[in-house]
Amino acid sequence: MRRFALVTGLLAFLPGSELAAATNNQPPFREVYEIVRTNLGGLPPEAVDRAALKGLLNQLEGQVVLDDQAVGPASASTGPVVSKTAVFDEAYGYVRVHHAGPKLDEAFGAEFGKLNGAGKLKGLVLDLRYAGGVDEKSAARTVDRFLAAEKTLVTVNGEPIRSTAKTNALQLPLAILVNQHTSGAAELLAALLRDNRAGLLIGAATTGGARQFKEFTLSTGQRLRVADGGTKVAGNLLLPATGLRPDIGVNVGAEEEQAFYTEPYRSLARGKSGPEVAGKSGGQGRLNEAELVRRMKEGQSLETAMSGGVPAVATPQVRDPALARALDLLKGIAAVRQSRNP
């Protein structure tokens, strides 16, 4: 059976048209595999095995995961589950999830505690762009930190995962960054946060088709996870196969988005060979909370206050479109709250 399965991976190396033709008039897998394995010159049988396995996993990306391979196409489930944290404008926390792996909830809680200090944060950005992972239970437990009431969040392999009643749930305004590479358990994390009204999604539609996995231990000791159907959230609804649509869409090219993700202050200037980092002074700065509150107290609406000219400030300007939009949203919410409770 192992050789029978591995040969399907060989088809993954065919161009699209040839692959379609091969599957329309498909020869017996075992026959093709044995001929290739015993007659391909200059390549030992073990190398054919490796190539077939690689092709199979590539062809079924997102549905079959071997050991520490990622669910998403642009991330890997190795390294720390939280890869970056920061504080913008001294009041808005930023937590980047690398992948939804074991103990994500604990790692998130620890990093958030460091950022928040003596309760100084007025909002939080959770960055799930390029994040994958397969630990749906840990993703649900991370969502639990934002919820005060007990309820069923998700059903994983028939087991309902519930939030717990608490008085110390995180109540900060939350912006969740997603893109077309947000997949697997990270996609579930985004869906649960929005469905439970903990935050809004900003960016581009996610991969779609988040799945539950069955885990198998191979003779090598490695773990093989095989998709076993869609993910059920509360009410037995399945996550959409077309992906989650953001509440606030941000259109940016793939290369530019990756550049901004690496360096949020980067400026993609026209007519130059590559990106450059924005300077710390000069030009129009980002609208800060104090200026926004001042304008609103003068009688301007929130929309008018945020669209007006911005005084120059001696701080770096965030150029990452999705992150900048998230910070604007959080500042707007903070300004409204402060104007109502001066």
Per-residue pLDDT of 58-67, as tens digits, reads 777 656 777 6
We report the CATH number of the domain holding residue 164 as 3.90.226.10
Q: How does residue 142 score in pLDDT terms, banded at 50, 70 and 90?
A: very high
Q: How does residue 21 score in pLDDT terms, banded at 50, 70 and 90?
A: very low
Residue 200 lies in a domain: yes
Report the number of distinct structural domains present in the chain: 3
User: pLDDT tens across 117-129, in order?
Assistant: 878 899 999 999 9
Residue 65 lies in a domain: no
Is the distance from CB of 72 to CB of 181 less than 8 angstroms? yes
What is the reported pLDDT for 318? Answer: 92
Mean pLDDT of 76-100: 90
Domain shared by 158 and 206, yes or no? yes
Residue 256 lies in a domain: no
pLDDT of 19 higher than 50: no
Domain shared by 98 and 224, yes or no? yes
Percentage of the residues of the chain whose pLDDT score is greater than 90: 42
What is the reported pLDDT for 263? Answer: 93
What is the reported pLDDT for 197? Answer: 94
Residue 71 lies in a domain: no
Domain shared by 279 and 226, yes or no? no
Domain boundary among 249, 283, 299: 249
Domain shared by 204 and 313, yes or no? no
What is the reported pLDDT for 253? Answer: 93
* 243-269 burial code (b ≥16 CB/10 A, e <16): bbebeeebebeeeebebbbeebbbeee
Domain shared by 32 and 98, yes or no? no
Across the chain, mean pLDDT equals 78
What is the reported pLDDT for 43? Answer: 80
User: pLDDT tens across 191-246, in order?
Assistant: 999 999 999 999 999 987 666 677 888 888 888 878 766 666 665 556 777 789 99
Domain shared by 279 and 336, yes or no? yes
What is the domain range of residue 326? 271-340
Q: How does residue 50 score in pLDDT terms, banded at 50, 70 and 90?
A: confident
Domain shared by 90 and 225, yes or no? yes
Residue 266 lies in a domain: no
Domain shared by 93 and 202, yes or no? yes
Domain shared by 52 and 102, yes or no? no
What is the reported pLDDT for 17? Answer: 40
Residue 77 lies in a domain: no
Rounded Cα gap, residues 77 and 153, in angstroms: 23
User: pLDDT tens across 144-191, in order?
Assistant: 999 999 999 988 777 889 999 999 999 999 999 999 999 888 999 999
What is the reported pLDDT for 106? Answer: 96
Residue 264 lies in a domain: no
Percentage of the residues of the chain whose pLDDT score is greater than 70: 70
Domain shared by 52 and 122, yes or no? no
Choice among 70-79, 103-112, 219-228, 276-285 with the minimum mean pLDDT: 276-285
Residue 72 lies in a domain: no
pTM for the structure as a whole = 0.69
Domain shared by 52 and 198, yes or no? no
Domain shared by 100 and 51, yes or no? no
